[in-house]
Structure 1
Amino acid sequence: MKNILAEIVAHKQIEVAARKQLRSVAELEQAPMFSRETLSLSGFLRQPGKTGIIAEFKRRSPSKGLINGNVTVQQVTTAYTRYGASGLSVLTDEKFFGGTTDDLLQARSYNQIPILRKDFVVDEYQILEAKAIGADVILLIAECLTADEVKHLSTFAANIGLEVLLEVHSESQLEKVSDHVHLVGVNNRDLTTFQVDFNRSCELAPKIPADKVKVAESGINDPANIVTLYKAGFEGFLIGEHFMRQEDPARAFENFVQELERLKLAQQ
């Protein structure tokens, strides 16, 4: 199977170069959102009474094709917030995921919880852009960055007030965790094949540095999964396709949270 991640990153390099020609760094720094005080996703995930869920807005993916083309950013993200999401994740990659930076701008205008810019960051420019469109957190993917690149990009992000979620898929990638990484996400989906192994999170959880917020990603489609992952030490749970592939993602999220609360009570 072709390496989808390598294809995405190669295209991203070209895309970023083009975006730099359209909007200068000075313009990004003058954007109204650039000077706003950011929200802490790590802080929100640790708030009592919240679900710990980072709920995602995603229209399509390379592995599944079109997931949902019938709902709006406002409909979905405001429902996520209303029913207790601790954070939002918004895909801004257009070619492979059907997202845009405008999707995140809209989500920011309607919601007052932390927002993760979900994209393939390979350049400082994208971090400045994330700040300019109202993101609070950026994603760095260990699979496609060296340890030095993670260190450099995470430091750059922290210096402008953004948190960093470093996504890993194997134990060896944990060596790339640096001081300015705030959250470590274990992606249960192999980004080179897009196969999902839910046990990946539980295997890596004890090996994540204790001072980092642990986030489980992908393959979470049942509230019982969250109960299991919480016991393994995770505080955040990034869920995208499970809600978005429903006809009514807002209702799906509400029902999921109600069942999660029921399970939590049963555990007490």
Structure 2
Amino acid sequence: MTSQGTRMLARFREAQLPGIARLRALAAADKLPEPLSFPDREGRPAFSRALRAAGSPAVIAEYKRASPSRGVIRLDLSPQDVARMYAQNNAGAISVLTEEAHFQGSLDSLARMAFAGLPLLRKDFLIDPVQVLETAATPASALLLIMRMFEGADQVREMRELAREHGLEAVCEVFDEADLDMARWAGAEIIQVNNRDLDTLETSLDVSRRLVRTRGAGELWISASGLSAPEQVAEMGDLGFDAVLVGTSLMSQADPGAALRALAQVGRDRKAAREAERHARHEAAGRGGGNR
């Protein structure tokens, strides 16, 4: 990564500092919001379980109002509008941009989208354990940890373990092999490959194609950025990805729900075909056993 990508991450980090200072002050005064309780069910909706059940691959649909690379993307849809649209069109989970300075996001969007019943991923540039505690006070099921925002795996592990203590799953985002090594040293179970080059802001699915070759047993893999077409979703499924995260291409559509439905159907059809194949093999094995 060259100085341009480094500077961009530094800007993202700097934008986090006032919020962290505010949260630390609340914690020192014992006024930090309490972790959210779920008296009517067994905790938060399980993020990884929902993805494995939704499709092969599942689609994580993102609520994204703006970005540094695109500027304003879509401001006319409320969080509730988008959550309803995504839930009705087979999203496996919803990713929610909560970063304010560069993405025009809001932490409040998590609470406004929870009614849809889908697991929510808090997508932000989190760097401090107090932000995990902040997330635990929301309806989020998972949070994003970007490896390049941390100096070492020990910091990531601390954040990931704290998240687990509060019923949150940690999605560890990587851009290359070095990031992937850090994520694994930190004990990552969910790996998200970002296909965007931070220096040029261009995307290439070659990043996902390359990194997924090293997928480990038991890991859940997500491909993110640069995905917009059903054939791309199918390819990621063929390569071994459990899910794809799609944001800009959905939010840019006149009808994001219809666009999502087309992408999600790929994974649903593939999952149904695999289940039918397994059933056929089971039936064939049963007939064979009965003939002996």
TM-score where L is the length of structure 1: 0.90
Corresponding position: 1:112 with 2:112: no
Say if 1:165 and 1:183, in contact at 8 Å, map to a contact too.
yes
2:223 matches 1:216 = yes
> Paired residue for 1:10?
14
Question: Structure 1 residues 48 and 153 mapped into 2: Cα distance closer, same or farther (>3 Å)?
Answer: closer
Identity, in percent, stands at: 31
Instruction: Quote how far apart the aligned CAs of 1:29 are.
Output: 4.6
Question: Aligned ranges for residues 74-153 of structure 1 at < 5 Å?
Answer: 74-108=80-114, 110-145=115-150, 146-153=152-159
Residues of 2 paired with 1:218 and 1:182: CA distance? 20
Q: 2:62 aligns with which of 56, 65, 69?
A: 56
Task: Choose the corresponding residue for 1:164, options 161, 170, 188.
Answer: 170
Structure having greater relative contact order (Cα 8 Å, sep ≥ 6): 2
Q: 2:245 aligns with which of 231, 235, 238?
A: 238
* SS, match of residue 63 in structure 1: coil
Higher-Rg structure is: 2
Aligned equivalent of 1:37: 43
Match of 1:250? 257
TM-score normalized with structure 2 length: 0.83
Corresponding residue for residue 154 of structure 1: 160
Residue range with higher mean Cα deviation, 92-101 or 194-203: 194-203
Alignment check: 8 A CA contact 2:126 2:145 kept: yes
Measured in 2, the distance between the counterparts of 1:175 and 1:258 equals 33
Q: How far apart, CA to CA, are the structure 2 residues paired with 1:198 and 1:25?
A: 47
Q: Secondary structure at the match of 2:53?
A: coil
**Partner of residue 65, structure 1:** 71
Bigger Cα displacement from structure 2, 150-159 vs 253-262: 253-262
RMSD: 2.6
The number of equivalent residue pairs is 267
Q: Which runs of 5+ in 1 are unaligned?
A: none
Shift of 1:134: 0.9
Aligned: 1:196 with 2:203: yes
> Deviations 1:131-175 (Å, cap 9, x if unpaired)?
111111010001121211111111111121110100001011111
Residue 206 (structure 2) pairs with residue 206 (structure 1): no
Compute the displacement of 1:27 (Å).
4.1
Identify the match of residue 185 of structure 1 among 179, 192, 210.
192
Q: Provide the C-alpha distance between the structure 1 equivalents of 2:168 and 2:32, rounded to a whole number of angstroms.
A: 15
Moved over 3 A (4+): 19-29, 31-36, 48-51, 255-268
TM superposition shift of 1:48: 5.4
List alignment gaps of at least 5 residues for structure 2: 278-292
Amino acid at match of 2:130: Y
